[in-house]
A and B are shown apart, each in its own frame.
Chain A
Amino acid sequence: MSKKELNIFKLLSEKPWEDSQKVIDDQHDGKTLALSKAKLGVRTIMVVSTVIFSLFVVSYSDRMLVHDWRSLSEPWLLWVNTIILIFTSFVFHKTKVLSDKNEFEKAKNYLLIVGFLTFAFITGQLLVWQYYVNLGQYASTNPANAFFYLFTALHGVHVLGGLFFWGRATTKLFTKNFSVLKIKQAIELCAIYWHFLLIVWFILFGLMIAT
């Protein structure tokens, strides 16, 4: 057992009254997982978000069976946005690799690119909304539209939330008054979150083009 892993069954069947277990227990440092608090926090948030999006997907699958469902035709702009998002994730990964190697000067510029691309993605999504509104495809026109607006809005809110933490990390990096460990972790966690949002977008977008 060189690494702490959460085996819930093993844990729940511990026998704390046995002498051998007691010795191990007395040495316990009080942590269940070998993870930092922040990392576990991000993971918990991702789990909660996953539940939210899954429930929306379930509702979508249930609602689309009704005869009044008229699928939207996706504009090419949505594909552009998807590619932007993929590229953002890629750049963020590069940033993380750079910060792991302590090359913060380079990482700085990459972080700015990430921010720019993410804002471009949000703008792109808003343009798609405008495109649909101009076509007269409002949220109330059809349930498929309603879900489209809902999915993009919700995904967008998650992206904006991520941008808040991206902003904090970037500002810290630019003030030069940062702890190396903290900034590394901030970049890593933001990168994980961006990949998560990319996967969520794949699922939502895939669901919408497949139906």
Chain B
Amino acid sequence: MTDEYTDNKIETKAADSSSGSYVPPAETIPAQEAPDQELYHAKSFWTKWVFCQDAKVIGIQYALTATAIGFIGLILSWGMRLQLGFPETFSFLGPATYYQSVTMHGMIMVIYLLTALFLGGFGNYLIPLMVGARDMVFPYVNMVSYWMFLVAVLVLIASFFVPGGPTGAGWTLYPPQAILPGTPGSEMGIVLMLVSLSLFVIGFTMGGLNYVITILQSRTRGMTLMRMPLTIWGIFTATVLALLAFPALFVACIMMTLDNLLGTSFFMPEIFTMGEKLEYGGGSPILFQHLFWFFGHPEVYIVALPAFGIVSDLISVHARKNVFGYRMMVWAIVIIGALSFIVWAHHMYVSGMNPWFGFFFATTTLIIAVPTAIKVYNWVLTLWRGNIHLTIPMLFSLGFIVTFVNGGITGLFLGNVIIDVPLSDTYFVVAHFHMVMGIAPLMVVFGAIYHWYPLITGRHLNQTLGKIHFWITFVGAYAIYFPMHYLGFIGVPRRYFEMYDSPYMTSGVGLNQFITVAALIVGFTQILFLYNIFTSWYKGEKSERNPWKANSLEWHTPDYPPTHGNFGKELPVVYRWPYDFSVPGSDKEYIPQDVPPSQVPTAKAEQT
């Protein structure tokens, strides 16, 4: 870190000169007091595409790696669904394989796919471009961050090939069962999982350092925090959450690794197995649960907040209307982020706790609904009387709003102790969290890919394939998860390998088969999407510059698609927020962020 800084004293002086007391005449461009960032210029193929320090390439590397591991997670879910829909049909699916699939599917999707894709992928690609920086502030650290992530992914994959296979302890990895014989993968699988998670956290911290400091300190002139696109606000807040929450996962992983390898008893209580007392004693499994969920709940918002931010931008651009209540949207993001740290024990109602404790956490959980509802209202009000273009990003955004409301409302029920206790171990919960943090953020991911693909490659994705992808994914997701709510109501327990002839299941058999078929169809559609991404890369319809007529800086680089250093000779200067669509008084349909007021003299400022 010692190689990358500017003189502190000069910066202080710069700050002085822009103080509020002195009001300079409008439209003078403030002098660029801090010199431009020195960039590392790649010389060979290796430093340009492999060990690359350009945030855009790192973003693509992150996205491709996350997608690759995400497809493994998808295939694992097929295994689970085949077993649940058609038990005793497939010989390769035993109880051990089933639990390993459940565990790895959960962990891969939440951490290695969604977190890495939103923050590592979109974060790296979009932050420097959207805030008007040449690159991240510590490009070298940023590169190391990706390679740590890759190593974490490889360690995770390696756990499929060790004796005993990957861990099957459930994605929450609760001790004591996670490291005791009888749980699949309790030999090497769990160790590799814990090591992989620790590596992920270390790698993420390096990346997170970059995202936060780039957004805070490396914006271009005129880009105040309250002029930033909401995408950046979402990614920024999520990164802050991650920097504060991931340590809890790290701490839990380290202590559990020691319990497993050295025989310490941080989390392990006294245990009798096969008539013999184990060496362990005195540890508290509940402590692990607290640590895990102190990470685990903010993790939900680490995934959701970037999605909130991105979808706000997509809706605004594709409905040609400014975001309704921009400031309120920012406040909601910040408030949700803050509240997310004091709700974690609502995941532990069934672990047993003081009733007042449960009361507290139920209350905080329900309070989160307020800023979240504000966001939903504002999305809807942004659409209201907008010029809605039903492009694919817009379709996915609409799909997101509906899905998020669905998943959010079931969350309101589950937030109450008295409703959660009977429903907690049923498929109702599975349906709830897949809707709210699986399907909803994925809708945004897809929308965002269709939206920014032209920026990255200079070509459009195939529209027909895109529409097919959207409709099958959207309708299919509901075909999968709506029946699951019902299964939960009739009491079908989750985590069970097979229901056998349980009376709960008589009405559920057909439904389970239906869900499995839907899941397979939706899954295969994602392969279609992947096909679209790869073929459009060289065959897709050429996109003109700024095809969506967006205002934010990433579409207004001198080179299209943007090249190393992002902004050519001069960094842009920002005069407005990125949502100036159909501004009253202006004859222009949209006014990019870097257009000075003199070019649009009649445009009126809009109150937000």
Return chain A residues, CB-CB under 8 Å to B1: 38, 41-42, 165, 189
- Report Cα–Cα, A101/B406, bound state, in Å: 64
Task: Judge if A40 is at the interface, Cβ distance under 8 Å.
Answer: yes
Task: Judge if A181 is at the interface, Cβ distance under 8 Å.
Answer: yes
Inter-chain contact B224/A31, CB cutoff 8 Å: no
- Report Cα–Cα, A37/B264, bound state, in Å: 41
Return chain A residues, CB-CB under 8 Å to B570: none
A31-B11, A31-B14, A150-B255 given as contacts; is B226 within 8 A of A11 (CB)? Answer: yes
Pick the residue among B26, B266, B577 that contacts A143 (CB under 8 A). Answer: B266
Which single residue of chain B is at the shortest CB-CB distance from A32? B216
Q: Tell me which residues from 120 to 153 in chain A have a Cβ below 8 Å from any Cβ of chain B.
A: 138-140, 143, 146, 150
Pick the residue among A26, A31, A33 that contacts B27 (CB under 8 A). Answer: A26
Inter-chain contact B247/A150, CB cutoff 8 Å: no
Return chain B residues, CB-CB under 8 Å to A138: 262
Inter-chain contact A37/B213, CB cutoff 8 Å: yes
Task: Judge if B482 is at the interface, Cβ distance under 8 Å.
Answer: no
Give 1 or 0 for each of B484-527: 1 = CB within 8 Å of chain A CB: 00000000000000000000000000000000000000000000
Return chain A residues, CB-CB under 8 Å to B226: 11-12, 14, 16, 25
* A136 shortest CB reach to chain B, Å: 14
Inter-chain contact A27/B24, CB cutoff 8 Å: yes
Task: Judge if B605 is at the interface, Cβ distance under 8 Å.
Answer: yes
* B127 shortest CB reach to chain A, Å: 13
Inter-chain contact A26/B575, CB cutoff 8 Å: yes
A12-B331, A48-B243, A185-B8 given as contacts; is B266 within 8 A of A24 (CB)? Answer: no
Give 1 or 0 for each of B107-143: 1 = CB within 8 Å of chain A CB: 0000000000000000000000001100001100000
Task: Judge if A210 is at the interface, Cβ distance under 8 Å.
Answer: no
Give 1 or 0 for each of B222-263: 1 = CB within 8 Å of chain A CB: 111111000000000000000110011011001100100011
Q: Tell me which residues from 1 to 26 in chain B have a Cβ below 8 Å from any Cβ of chain A.
A: 1-8, 11-12, 14-16, 18-21, 23-24, 26
Inter-chain contact B30/A27, CB cutoff 8 Å: yes
Give 1 or 0 for each of A2-16: 1 = CB within 8 Å of chain B CB: 111000100111111
Contact segment of A63-71, A89-97, A109-117: A63-71
A30-B222, A32-B225, A34-B15 given as contacts; is B608 within 8 A of A17 (CB)? Answer: yes
Inter-chain contact B132/A67, CB cutoff 8 Å: no
Pick the residue among A20, A39, A51, A55 that contacts B5 (CB under 8 A). Answer: A39
* A206 shortest CB reach to chain B, Å: 20
Return chain B residues, CB-CB under 8 Å to A139: 258, 262-264
A11-B226, A48-B247, A139-B258 given as contacts; is B24 within 8 A of A38 (CB)? Answer: no
Pick the residue among A16, A18, A59 that contacts B227 (CB under 8 A). Answer: A16
Q: Supply 21 A–B pairs (Cβ within 8 Å), ascending by A.
A: A1-B20, A3-B15, A12-B334, A14-B226, A30-B223, A31-B14, A31-B216, A31-B219, A36-B7, A38-B1, A39-B5, A39-B8, A42-B1, A48-B243, A51-B248, A59-B266, A139-B262, A139-B264, A143-B264, A182-B5, A185-B8
Given contacts A47-B244, A55-B248, 7 further A-B contacts (CB under 8 A): A1-B20, A34-B12, A38-B5, A47-B243, A48-B247, A56-B251, A185-B8
